[in-house]
Amino acid sequence: MSPRRNRPKGAGSSGRTAEDENGRYGGWQSSEHWRGENWSVRHVAGASAQGKSYRCPGCDQLIPDGVPHVVAWAEHAGVDDRRHWHKACWNARDRRTPGVRRSRNAPRF
């Protein structure tokens, strides 16, 4: 009997396929055009966001851990500049005012 395979058939040297990358965070990735730039948008399932919280740039509120949300970044900037948005805030990004203000004692992230 031969030993069990740890990697899927046909995977590259990293052991991951393109399908694994798209579904890795429980969602799907697409590309959108916004403000004259191409943006990569990834939908994140709540189960893969356990133990992490983020601040949404659309409403300046916390996205608690375990909540499904959207991760977006400009394609020319790369993944280091990605931002986590509420799904509703990402969909309403054109209707939002650019200067969202924090309350006086809100933490700065």
Chain centre to alpha carbon of residue 41: 7
Contact 89, 75 (CB under 8 A): no
Give the three-state DSSP class for 92.
coil
**Does the predicted TM-score (pTM) go above 0.75?**
no
8 Å CB contact between 59 and 26: no
Q: Average pLDDT in the 63-68 region? A: 89
Contact 89, 96 (CB under 8 A): yes
Cβ atoms of 84 and 56 within 8 Å: the answer is yes
Q: 15-58, pLDDT tens digit by residue? A: 443 444 444 445 678 888 887 888 889 998 877 777 888 999 88
